[in-house]
Amino acid sequence: MEPAEVSRLHALAYLQCALGFLGSLLLRQAASSYGRYASPGAAFGVPARAAWALQELPSLAVPLWVCARTAAERLRRAPNRILLAMFLLHYAQRSLIFPFLIRGGKPMPLYTCVLAFTFCVYNGYLQSRYLSQYAVYADDWVTDPRFLVGFCLWLIGMLINIHSDHILRNLRKPGETGYKIPRGGLFEYVTAANYFGEVVEWCGYGLASWSIQGGAFALFTFCILFTRAQQHHRWYLEKFEDYPKFRKIIIPFLF
């Protein structure tokens, strides 16, 4: 019989799936409220760099707190350590490096920042608590095809995401304002190359973890970023008459 907390962690994972579908539906009714979609008169805006750093930080800090406050029994196993390191590496980059590379950027509405912060607390706890206390893997799991393929997808996705963010940051020359059509990398094939990279990354993590918790996070990411990518694609088509018509939305050659 599994511990009661495992049942709760499974329930939180299923709830995360439901939140992904709900979030997708809500985003279809109202566009994202930051970046190019931000309202000029929005009150309580948080500077872009501070917003990204603060809202992403719980996904790094909460797992470290979870592992420090109680004996992380499962982290004695290599698969658990590697999987948690995969999660932490992404959010170390996202909270400690990415925000300080942002050039300019419009303020983010406070409520958007709070929602993102809350999700990162939720997901940071869910992933780290399960991996550190309850996820059971065979010692040779790191040689299992599911882990190897998942790890490769995670690494490729993270590199695509970082490279695509680099392209977006360098669209404008110093002193320039306004928006431009992204060129280079996977932007030659899809509108949302950065989102594609993140979806691939977390699908790889979900496969490598082979858990309800990892799969739920991958599904949530797909639901939210897929919808945002559709909004971005429509925006580019409306704003730029010369926007490449052959570009797909988020999945190269397919969609």
Give the pLDDT confidence score for residue 40 in this predicted structure: 58
- Domain residue extents for the chain: 15-239
- The per-residue pLDDT for 44 is 81
Residue 5, helix vs strand vs coil = helix
Residue 123 has a CB neighbour count (10 Å cut-off) of 24
| pLDDT score of 71 | 83
As to burial, measured by CB atoms within 10 angstroms (0-12 exposed, 13-18 middle, 19+ buried), residue 104 is exposed
C-alpha distances out from residue 6 to 60, 123, 206, 217, Å: 22, 15, 18, 17
Q: Rounded distance, CA 31 to CA 54, Å?
A: 22
Question: For residue 105, what pLDDT is reported?
Answer: 77
**pTM for the model:** 0.93
Q: How many CB atoms lie within 10 A of CB 170?
A: 11
Amino acid 78: pLDDT: 95
Residue 127 tokens read as 């992933």
pLDDT of 72 reads 85
Give the per-residue pLDDT at 38.
58
Spatial separation of the C-alpha atoms in residues 107 and 116, rounded to whole Å: 15
What is the reported pLDDT for 174? 72
Which amino acid type is present at position 41? Answer: G
| DSSP-derived secondary structure letter, 255 | -
Residue 130 to residue 168: CA distance in whole angstroms: 35
pLDDT value at position 39?
A: 59
Per-residue model confidence (pLDDT) at position 195: 98
Low-confidence ranges of the chain (pLDDT < 70): 1-2, 31-43, 175
d(CA 189, CA 254): 10
Between CA 43 and CA 228 the distance in angstroms is 23
> pLDDT tens for residues 98-153?
999 998 778 899 999 999 999 999 999 999 999 999 999 998 999 999 999 999 99
